[in-house]
Chains A and B, each alone.
Chain A
Amino acid sequence: MKDRRKLVVVGNGMAGARFAEELIARGGRDAWDIVMFGDEPYGNYNRILLSGVLAGTHDPRDTFLNPLRWYEDNGVTLHAGVGVRGIDRRARVLHAGNGIMERYDELVLATGSVPFVPPLERLRLGDGAFREGAFVFRTLDDTEAMIRYAARSKKAAILGGGLLGLEAARGLLALGLEVHVVHLMKHLMEVQLDPAAGRMLHGLLKNMGMHVHLGRATCGVIGEERVEGLLFADGLTLDCDMLVISAGIRPNAQLAVDAGLEVERGIVVGDDLRTSDDHVNAIGECAQHRGATYGLVAPLWEQARVLADRMSGRKTEARYEGSRVSTKLKVAGIELAVMGAREATSPDDEEVTYSEPARGVYKKLVVRDGKLAGAILLGDASSAPALLQAFDRDQALSDNRAELLFPLASGGTAASAADLPDDAQICNCNGVSKGTIVAAIRRGCRSLDVLCSATRAGTGCGSCKREVGVLLDAIAGDAVADDPSEHYYVPGVPLAKPELVRAIEERGLRSVSAVFRELAGGKDDAASKPGLASLLKTLWGKEYDDERDARFINDRVHANIQKDSTFSVIPRIYGGVTSPAQLRKIADVAERHQAKMVKITGGQRIDLLGIPKEHLPAVWRELGMPSGHAYAKAFRTCKTCVGTDFCRYGVGDSTGLGIAIERRFQGLESPAKLKLATAGCPRNCSEATTKDVGAIAIEGGRWEIYVGGGAGSRVRKGDVLCVVDSHDEVLRMMGRFMQYYRENAKYLERTYGFVERVGIDLLRRLLVDDAEGIAARLDADMQAAVDSYVDPWQEADAPKTSAQFAGALTPDVPEAVRDPSLVQLRLASGER
């Protein structure tokens, strides 16, 4: 083991603890001894959920992200409830409470923020403490003190009508208090909302029973022993027996100021997140980067990731370049998503607004140069995911702005999962009820992956994952613990696909074991192997070092495993066109090997089921047909209709095209299976519009190419990518799309998810208009992939691994071993 250096993190909140997690996920424990200081005597908890604790909808335990045991289990020394007093930068020593001193090689300041308390007359007692009945709303302790005091209060005033203030107001309202929100500005949440949205929100809160006072400057507190009211600048007063101050936050930079670090509004950091001292770094709400400070969780996590990349040595040149601020949350139970600009700032900016006061819905887009400069969605955030994506990627928007405000009705059922009874079955593959999922969330499953693997919901066909996510949001609160692994290409390598591809190419990693060795700290992970194998094959083609243990069993033996451990054999029948001789041969093989079932598949092929593994090579040899790849994440088949040869309606030769497609793309590896179809006329008998890629002949000798369709666990009609004039053009455009999909889709992401995520407009621009000049390169890479195709059933005569197709090996063992006592042994071991 190398000499480990010491890394000290000051702050155990959303940023500090997240950084520690990210660092450990990157193998950072090999290089660092990690020591953390937290002001509060707890593990790390999700501050965003405190409003739920206040409102009584969340148990404080529900907010914990990392309990104290987590630190122990991960070898992190945590000083919980110990404040840091000072930093001796010259000696690189930290002085903390209880006389604790800690030497550091690198220091990370993640001290967060402190509530801003405006100077109010008579707020404080002689010793500086608040008069009884006055609170700030920041920590778990604050929250619990408020709950206790609220129990003997009737009327609360909330100073500040921002996000936090309204959350406090909702919580106190739920506790049965009369609640008055006092706000200095002319409308609520002016940082996030425009005046119209502020008014809409005001109306919604009034209907809930809140009192809102706008444009009110508060100058003092009334009351002797305790708070009895507020005094305003205009001389008016408001009676209240409880006061919550939530007038904003300020970066908590005092420690940095005292240590002589450069501090403006926050602790000044560069793109490498270093402060003015090379050994001191800062992230989170306390940091000021390129003039900006952030109070939302997403930028904090981005900073944590960048710093972890750098400190772990995984990516020493990692840089943080600022965040485009967007957030999706609930304010007082009302859905809200905001991003970027609130209003047009120049006459060229376009504002699109929709207002529906009766339902409390307000939507607004700010469009600049055809791109999304900002948006506000209040009361209905269903279009938020698509808009957030367009905003984050700076994508050009559809000319039809209405489409952006009103997404198609898909996902409508998912939104209601939270309203279902507990015994409702959510996962129809594994029979998991809502009650089971909710119980798991309450037990602490705080991310979709953890939740799914704990309950098995969503681990079958995956179509209920969205509903599981809805439940997670509803139960775990407004900001579910963002599981970094959700962004990873595979769970065992902590990199998203673009970074993973870059690392693989830069380091020339040609095998799955090399990826684990170089990028996952040497830990191989079963669930990650097939995804990596698929990616490496796509990236390296013939140069891929094909380690067979990385493959799922189907891909090791080129057949689909069945519930009784036998296999299904589906030979390729190009375009579904066969012949009497071929049928006769298939029949003979089926008979000879006693196939348990012979079935016509949905992809117009013939499936021989119930073939034992050890028979596979003989079956293939006797068939003399190539593999149909019905077992692989790859190009599967192209379904065809009869087309022009016999059909009296056909306007294009769909059979000839289908055969050409299958010959060209057979066995092509891809992130998920690819099912294609060609139809000879718009009657669409082969269902080409609901295939991953389809072509439909239209009058005039032309073909419409559809992409992103599917009719499996989800049904989606594909989008028309383009219309072309010839079979060759169809092959070229289909190949171009499939290559782009191969390179950019997540593992197991079907084209219908991919096309929706990327957007058909962008695909048309890239693939049809060739706006970025990548078309020729995509075509060439596809050609190379096609050229490297080898029929895997040739392994019948040239196995790639020892005993590749063996059923069971039968070593020569002494007669005694075959005696009945071993049968007993077998029974005792629980085998069937």
Chain B
Amino acid sequence: MSEPLDLGPIDLIPPGEGRTFALGALRVAVFRTRGGEVYATQASCPHRAGPLADALMGGRSIVCPLHGFKFDLATGAAVGHACGNLAVYAVSVDGDRRIRLHIPAEPAKEAV
């Protein structure tokens, strides 16, 4: 695993919301729950490419703003539908309250 990327201070993302980050050609949606956990997934919905960072968040799941498809943030698993799962990335907040995204050397696999 390579060095985690510094995406900036966690306060870039308001509690309970997500933001899209563009890393070269890759787009990642990073979420911050009200409980303080962070999650990262692919940026757009596998159904019709809805912007997942604009989703409503509840507990550990998000609901795509376009057609209401639901996904588990931790696993990327589709919840209650068969539209495919999300790729997820390891993400954390370091001691300086900065977002650290771990990009795997291998291409990310679809969560099962």
A and B bind: yes
Within 8 A of B (CB), among A537-567: 547-550, 552-553, 556, 561, 563, 565
The answer, among B20, B59, B107, for a CB contact under 8 Å with A524, is B59
- Given A527-B63, A802-B13: A822 touches B54 (CB 8 Å cut-off): no
- Given A563-B48, A802-B11, A822-B26: A528 touches B42 (CB 8 Å cut-off): no
- Collect the chain A residues with CB atoms within 8 Å of residue B7's CB: 809, 811
Q: Is the CB of A825 within 8 A of B80?
A: no
The answer, among A526, A814, A824, A830, for a CB contact under 8 Å with B46, is A830
Q: Is the CB of B21 within 8 A of A524?
A: no
- Given A803-B12, A818-B24, A829-B87: A809 touches B19 (CB 8 Å cut-off): yes
Which of A492, A827, A832 counts the most B-chain CB atoms under 10 A from its CB? A832
Q: Is the CB of A828 within 8 A of B5?
A: no
The answer, among B19, B65, B108, for a CB contact under 8 Å with A829, is B108
Chain A residue at minimal CB-CB distance from B68: A459
Within 8 A of A (CB), among B43-75: 43-44, 46, 48-51, 54-59, 61-63, 65-66, 68, 70
Q: Is the CB of A524 within 8 A of B65?
A: no
Q: Is the CB of B27 within 8 A of A808?
A: yes
Within 8 Å of chain A (Cβ to Cβ): is B34? yes
A547 to B57, CA, bound (A): 13
Chain B residue at minimal CB-CB distance from A828: B107
Q: Kindly supply a per-residue 1/0 record for chain A positions 475-493, scoring 1 wherever the CB is within 8 Å of any chain B CB and 0 otherwise.
A: 0000000000000000010
Within 8 Å of chain B (Cβ to Cβ): is A523? yes
Within 8 A of A (CB), among B1-24: 5-8, 11-17, 19-24
Within 8 Å of chain A (Cβ to Cβ): is B25? yes
Which of B25, B27, B51 counts the most A-chain CB atoms under 10 A from its CB? B25
CB distance from B58 to the nearest CB of A (A): 3
Within 8 Å of chain A (Cβ to Cβ): is B110? yes
A811 to B8, CA, bound (A): 7
Which of A523, A547, A550, A553 counts the most B-chain CB atoms under 10 A from its CB? A553
Q: Is the CB of B44 within 8 A of A831?
A: yes
CB distance from A229 to the nearest CB of B (A): 56
- Collect the chain B residues with CB atoms within 8 Å of residue A524's CB: 16, 34, 57-59
CB distance from B64 to the nearest CB of A (A): 10
Chain B residue at minimal CB-CB distance from A565: B51
The answer, among A453, A528, A563, A817, for a CB contact under 8 Å with B58, is A528
A801 to B58, CA, bound (A): 19
- Given A825-B108, A830-B42: A548 touches B56 (CB 8 Å cut-off): no
Chain B residue at minimal CB-CB distance from A820: B25
Q: Is the CB of B24 within 8 A of A809?
A: no
- Given A808-B20, A809-B7, A832-B49: A822 touches B65 (CB 8 Å cut-off): no
- Collect the chain A residues with CB atoms within 8 Å of residue B51's CB: 553, 561, 565
A824 to B26, CA, bound (A): 9
Within 8 Å of chain B (Cβ to Cβ): is A826? yes
- Collect the chain B residues with CB atoms within 8 Å of residue A807's CB: 20
Within 8 A of B (CB), among A490-542: 492, 513, 523-530
Within 8 Å of chain B (Cβ to Cβ): is A618? no
Q: Is the CB of B66 within 8 A of A563?
A: yes
Within 8 Å of chain B (Cβ to Cβ): is A823? yes
CB distance from A394 to the nearest CB of B (A): 38
- Collect the chain A residues with CB atoms within 8 Å of residue B81's CB: 456
A422 to B105, CA, bound (A): 50
CB distance from B23 to the nearest CB of A (A): 5
Q: Is the CB of B54 within 8 A of A548?
A: no
- Collect the chain B residues with CB atoms within 8 Å of residue A346's CB: none
Chain B residue at minimal CB-CB distance from A815: B24
A791 to B44, CA, bound (A): 31
A462 to B55, CA, bound (A): 21
Chain B residue at minimal CB-CB distance from A832: B49
- Given A553-B65, A808-B27: A529 touches B19 (CB 8 Å cut-off): no
A814 to B19, CA, bound (A): 20
Using a Cβ cutoff of 8 Å, how many contacts connect chains A and B?
149
Q: Is the CB of B25 within 8 A of A818?
A: yes
The answer, among A548, A550, A830, for a CB contact under 8 Å with B87, is A830
CB distance from B24 to the nearest CB of A (A): 3
CB distance from A822 to the nearest CB of B (A): 5
Within 8 Å of chain B (Cβ to Cβ): is A819? yes
CB distance from B38 to the nearest CB of A (A): 14
- Given A524-B34, A803-B12: A561 touches B65 (CB 8 Å cut-off): yes
Q: Is the CB of A549 within 8 A of B65?
A: no
Q: Is the CB of A529 within 8 A of B56?
A: yes
- Collect the chain A residues with CB atoms within 8 Å of residue B44's CB: 565, 831-832
CB distance from A412 to the nearest CB of B (A): 30
CB distance from A455 to the nearest CB of B (A): 10
- Collect the chain B residues with CB atoms within 8 Å of residue A587's CB: none
Within 8 Å of chain A (Cβ to Cβ): is B103? yes
CB distance from B44 to the nearest CB of A (A): 6
CB distance from B66 to the nearest CB of A (A): 7
CB distance from B80 to the nearest CB of A (A): 6
A752 to B63, CA, bound (A): 28
The answer, among B19, B59, B87, for a CB contact under 8 Å with A806, is B19
CB distance from B88 to the nearest CB of A (A): 9
The answer, among B5, B16, B62, B110, for a CB contact under 8 Å with A547, is B16
Q: Is the CB of A830 within 8 A of B84?
A: yes
- Given A548-B14, A549-B16, A802-B11: A811 touches B5 (CB 8 Å cut-off): yes
Chain A residue at minimal CB-CB distance from B48: A563
- Given A492-B58, A526-B62, A813-B5: A565 touches B25 (CB 8 Å cut-off): no
A553 to B62, CA, bound (A): 12
- Given A549-B34, A803-B19, A831-B43: A811 touches B24 (CB 8 Å cut-off): no
Q: Is the CB of B107 within 8 A of A825?
A: yes
Within 8 A of B (CB), among A221-275: none
Within 8 Å of chain B (Cβ to Cβ): is A810? yes
- Collect the chain A residues with CB atoms within 8 Å of residue B26's CB: 822-823, 825-826
Q: Is the CB of A831 within 8 A of B58?
A: no
- Collect the chain A residues with CB atoms within 8 Å of residue B24's CB: 813, 817-819, 822-823
Within 8 Å of chain B (Cβ to Cβ): is A780? no
A530 to B57, CA, bound (A): 11
Q: Kindly supply a per-residue 1/0 record for chain A positions 56-94, scoring 1 wherever the CB is within 8 Å of any chain B CB and 0 otherwise.
A: 000000000000000000000000000000000000000
Within 8 Å of chain B (Cβ to Cβ): is A647? no
Which of B20, B26, B44, B66 counts the most A-chain CB atoms under 10 A from its CB? B26
The answer, among A523, A556, A803, A811, for a CB contact under 8 Å with B23, is A811
Within 8 Å of chain B (Cβ to Cβ): is A454? yes
- Collect the chain B residues with CB atoms within 8 Å of residue A818's CB: 23-25
CB distance from B68 to the nearest CB of A (A): 7
A819 to B25, CA, bound (A): 8
- Collect the chain B residues with CB atoms within 8 Å of residue A563's CB: 48, 66
* Residues in chain B within 8 A of chain A (CB atoms): 5-8, 11-17, 19-27, 34, 42-44, 46, 48-51, 54-59, 61-63, 65-66, 68, 70, 80-81, 84, 87, 103, 107-110
18 residue pairs A–B, Cβ–Cβ below 8 Å:
A459-B68, A526-B62, A548-B14, A549-B16, A549-B56, A550-B16, A553-B51, A556-B54, A561-B65, A563-B66, A801-B14, A801-B17, A808-B22, A808-B43, A809-B19, A811-B7, A813-B5, A829-B87
3 closest Cβ pairs, A-B complex: A549-B16, A526-B58, A818-B24
Can you add 13 more A-B contacts, CB < 8 Å, to A549-B14, A811-B21?
A: A513-B16, A527-B63, A563-B66, A802-B13, A803-B13, A809-B12, A817-B103, A818-B23, A823-B24, A823-B26, A825-B107, A829-B110, A832-B44
